[in-house]
A and B are shown apart, each in its own frame.
Chain A
């Protein structure tokens, strides 16, 4: 199993550009998540999905969109990139969301810089 994979690993965007961060998991997990980690800070939840076709906002959703058409894929879309979106983005998945099964498996991250 590859686990959770993310592409690209690095990206530099200009202000106002858009891009999609890709995330795929091969563990047949129902739940998937997008986090961002700013320097010196903890991870903050952007969006999550409890299954194909179902998504919801997390703590910091502004400036992002997501979709979940399959169990495996959970892309994160940035429209009109801003310098405040410079961060490291982590995708994660889990079998369930709560209790003792909430081990979230993380991808390696995408480091995004907006100039």
Chain B
């Protein structure tokens, strides 16, 4: 049972435009959400996170939005750069638990 879902396996965006990656979750007990970025042959690296007490968190070009009522979060990258081309994983957890639940990932390609 996939508790965190990323329904778009891939996304292509022109350099300089906005990239929007989406994520849905089913478990209402999740209260902390993270985005990880993964390049080929490397492990995932942490990108940005958001607590359920917030609806937005921004870090440079990256902004994560959380809609708790819809159980939906999104990652916005503005402006997109070719170096952003990677697989992006959404992850969620319940504070105090040890299991981080990952989505299946979205492969972002930024076209120069």
Contact = CB atoms under 8 A, between A and B. Distances in A.
Interface residues of B, number: 30
Nearest to A98: B95
B80 to A, nearest CB: 23
A26 interface: no
Interface stretch (B45-53, B59-67, B70-78): B45-53
A109 B93 contact: no
A48 interface: yes
Contacts of B112: none
Contacts of B85: none
Contacts of B111: none
Contact of A43 (B9, B41, B89): B89
Interface residues of A, number: 29
B43 A98 contact: no
A8 B43 CA distance: 14
Interface of B: 2, 4, 6, 9, 32, 34, 36, 41-46, 49, 51, 89, 91, 93-105
19 contacts: A4-B43, A40-B9, A42-B103, A43-B89, A50-B98, A58-B99, A97-B96, A97-B97, A98-B95, A98-B96, A98-B97, A99-B32, A99-B95, A102-B49, A104-B46, A104-B100, A106-B36, A107-B43, A109-B43
